[in-house]
A and B are shown apart, each in its own frame.
Chain A
Amino acid sequence: MNKKFRMNPIMKKELVVGSRSIKMSIAILGINLFLTLIVILIMATTNLASGSSGYDYSALLMIFPVLGCVEVGLLSLIVPIITSGSISGEREKQTLEIMLTTPVTPFSIAAGKLGAAMTVVMMYMLSSIPVMSIAFVLGGMSWWALIGLIGILLYLGVYVGSVGVFCSSVVKKSIAATILTIAIGIGILVATSVIFYTWIGIWAYRESVGTAVSQPVLAPMVMMFNPYSPIFDFMLRSMTSTSVYGMIDNAWQTPALIGLIYKAWIPVSVALNLLVSLGFLKLAGRNISVTRNNKKRK
């Protein structure tokens, strides 16, 4: 009943070690400097463009989506770098073997590494809130949009991070794991888009020759597995009065049940992609597992 909360030991150790490294301070400084420069650039451009006709405050509304997209981009690059050395680094340092002689499961090792990476990502994001708040002050976003953005960035961090941990468990060198993580990310992005647009293209062709049977209302389902699609829907909802569902509904007549799923695009897509993340973590655990690591050693 009186069970104490116990933090994943690997995550705890990673946080202790990481907090003593100068890399984290430099990264936080770099990210915030970059975001600040972008805000200054937008404000300066707006100022120059306004000229004698007065300051165009509506142009400042661009700050939020631009900063949001920059954060998404940064996260997509930083998380692979953080996580890609998680398992391969332990192998390089010859510390993984000792870890595997303890009762901690390979899955816990993978989850601990991801948890530590997510804590670092959280720190990066929280540190950027003051810069992001400029958009709030100038009316470009609501508090809910800010909270929503943090949530969606966290989700993206978990997704990319789990791919990073998986890649780190597959290849021996951290640099190779970073490249593989980015390649898999781009691969998923491209593959889902290609399948979606091919589906639509085939339908459009059949429609033009009069052989189309029904509208491709299921095609957008593919895009639900695109990890960036909930972010796209989030940005669309935050900045405009429409959404992904609105776009689909405008184009085709969606059946009620499918419509419900599309209406809840963000939660459904996030849930699906988090399941995929769990799969990557499980695979990472399997790769770490000693029983699979039976190559001749000595």
Chain B
Amino acid sequence: MLEISNLTKRYGKFVALDGLNLHIDKGEIFGFVGPNGAGKTTTMRIICGLLKASGGSVLVDGVDALKRPDDIKRKVGYVPDFFGVYDNLKVMEYMEFYGSMYGMEKEDVDEIAVGLLELVNLADKQDTFVDTLSRGMKQRLCVARALIHNPELLILDEPNSGLDPRARFEMKEVLKNLGTMGKTILISSHILPELSEMCTSIGIMERGKLIVSGRVEEIMQKSMGIQPIHLRAMVPGMEADEAKAHVLTVLKEQPLVSGVSYAGEEYQIHYGGTEQQAAYLLKALVERNIMVSDFHREKENLEALFLEITNAAHAAQVHP
């Protein structure tokens, strides 16, 4: 559905996109993650035809977005990070206005708009003036607006920014529904755990480059490697200090253990192995007369992975 190859964007000497490559299949919900200035918005604006690229190619459903931006406008629906609405315009009129921009007849727009407003839980707001809606409602209305022409690809730039938890939840539900309808969605956000719940794939951007991308499960698998194992244990017949020394010795003997810390009667083990290898670690502890009362891997944390990856990328640039 979306194929980005070697996409580059320069503003004078500043490189906003540095040979970006990205592939999104039809029906995927792709989460774009990255710090401010990473190039997420620039990429999205280039896909939508709002910005000219300095180089590379962008194919949306086989159509070159850089060479045929007018054709792309019918294939893409865009929800920007910041947008306004018109005063004195009702919700249904707002939808009719944007429908007419795509050359649609009023009757067709009305029929589609009713369905879309239901999808975004605004069916009862058809006669409400758009400027009186809450921010969350405006955001959902903007999603409905972006879908009025039934685009192949929906692009949402930080759709949850500035929303309260309730509005975020409602937006998440709307996007999940769109996912079940088979829409291809490209979404950027800073709220990483929410992205992992909604998206089928994610990509992490840093300084105009895509550092990591893949299925959410694969990324999660990678994150497991950086999550510590928490251990509570005792050794029969040993005093607390002696038992602690014994456990630390046993742990440090294990080849995949890169570090161990002890705090609050709990050991934190930095373990690079898989889940199966972690089971062998537990077995080794038990065989060395260590009685284990708790042994669990800290929950996968996309945020931690994000920081780890972006920090590593930053360090590599500073000290190549």
User: What does DSSP make chain B's interface, helix, strand, loop or mixed?
Assistant: loop
User: Are A296 and B83 touching (Cβ within 8 A)?
Assistant: no
A9, B101: Cβ atoms closer than 8 Å: yes
Residue tally, chain A, CB below 8 Å to B: 28
Size bin of chain B's contact surface: 35 or more
B51 x A99 contact (CB < 8 A): no
Is the CB–CB distance between B45 and A297 below 8 Å? yes
Asked if B98 contacts A93 (CB within 8 A), the reply is no
Q: Known: A17-B89, A103-B73. Is A12-B50 also a contact (CB below 8 A)?
A: no
Please name all residues of chain A whose beta carbon is closer than 8 Å to the beta carbon of B100 when the two chains form the complex: 6, 9, 12
Q: How far is the CB of B108 from chain A (nearest CB, A)?
A: 12
Contact of B102 among A103, A291, A294 (CB under 8 A): A103
**Chain B residues, Cβ within 8 Å of A27:** none
B117 lies within 8 A of chain A by Cβ: no
Cross-chain contact of A101 among B41, B50, B86, B87 (Cβ < 8 A):
B50
Given contacts A9-B101, A17-B88, contact A290 B73 (CB under 8 A): no
Docked Cα-Cα span, A17 to B97, in Å, equals 11
Q: Which of A16, A95, A102, A297 lies in contact with B85, CB distance below 8 A?
A: A95
Chain A contacts for B42, CB-based, 8 A = 297-298
Given A9-B101, A94-B84, A101-B48, CB of A298 within 8 Å of CB of B36: yes
Chain A residues contacting B50 (CB-CB under 8 Å) are 97, 100-101, 290, 293
B192-210 vs A, CB cutoff 8 Å, 1 = contact: the mask equals: 0000000000000000000
Write the nearest CB–CB distance from B318 to chain A, whole angstroms. 23
Contacting pair B78 A101 (CB below 8 A): yes
Are A13 and B82 interface neighbours, CB within 8 A? no
A17 contacts B86, C-beta separation under 8 Å: yes
Across-interface contacts of A94 in B (CB, < 8 A) = 80, 82-84
Q: How far is the CA of A3 from the CA of B87 in the complex (A)?
A: 32
Contacts of A293 in B (CB 8 A): 50-51
- Measuring CB to CB, which residues of chain B are less than 8 angstroms from any residue of chain A? 11, 14, 16, 36-37, 41-42, 45, 48-52, 69-70, 73-74, 76, 78, 80, 82-89, 93, 97-98, 100-103, 105, 142, 145
